[in-house]
Chain A
Amino acid sequence: NAGVTQTPKFQVLKTGQSMTLQCAQDMNHEYMSWYRQDPGMGLRLIHYSVGAGITDQGEVPNGYNVSRSTTEDFPLRLLSAAPSQTSVYFCASSSRGGEKLFFGSGTQLSVL
């Protein structure tokens, strides 16, 4: 049972480039979310989804897009990367929002 899988683990981008961070879960969870964590800081919520076809903004949504076409996948798209988006990104899921969150291992992103 893989749990929450994030790819890639590391990525370096140039300013202005776009890319997609992948997140997949195999636990049939309704709730999925994306967080970013800057060095020495807590986690900040970017976007979340309570089910396929339903997404909403979190605390820091600017510069990111998400979609939820299936229960399993919740990709995060950076539209035009900026140095301020250098961070570690975590995807999480739970059977329902507010219950036990399962986290992926994270994606370390550097924007030059």
Chain B
Amino acid sequence: LAKTTQPISMDSYEGQEVNITCSHNNIATNDYITWYQQFPSQGPRFIIQGYKTKVTNEVASLFIPADRKSSTLSLPRVSLSDTAVYYCLVGGPYSGSARQLTFGSGTQLTVLP
């Protein structure tokens, strides 16, 4: 199983760009990298998914270097409502690790006014 490591917590101010890095040294060839956001008392919510290089959607960007041993979630111009726990997940539909989608401890992002 691909184990992930993230910072436990991060603070930022409104309007700043936030980058959260996840380390996954033993990622498998067929594994994708997926990021989720979780608010208190709610289930995690999908943010973005990628395999290599860069992926961008309406809420975030995901940067993945060539060796794929890490990934960085980038949140542009955060607001107070972005305060949440962010998880990265490694697994894929065609790899063995797809069956056991295990979450790491996540990163608590706190956005300050």
A residues neighboring B (CB under 8 Å): 4, 33, 35, 41-45, 48, 50, 56, 58-59, 90, 92, 96-106
The number of residues on chain B lying at the interface, defined by a beta carbon within 8 Å of a beta carbon of chain A, is 28
Which of A35, A42, A50, A104 has most chain B Cβ within 10 Å? A42
Question: Are A98 and B42 neighbours in the complex by a CB distance under 8 Å?
Answer: no
Min CB distance, B46 to chain A, in Å? 5
Question: Are B98 and A103 neighbours in the complex by a CB distance under 8 Å?
Answer: no
Q: Which residues of A contact B45 (CB under 8 A)?
A: 103
Contact with A along B87-100 (1 / 0, CB 8 A): 10101111101111
Question: Are A42 and B92 neighbours in the complex by a CB distance under 8 Å?
Answer: no
Min CB distance, A35 to chain B, in Å? 7
Q: Which residues of B contact A41 (CB under 8 A)?
A: 105
In the complex where A103-B43, A105-B43 touch, is A42 in contact with B87 (Cβ < 8 A)? Answer: yes
Question: Which of B61-113 touch A at CB < 8 Å?
Answer: 87, 89, 91-95, 97-106
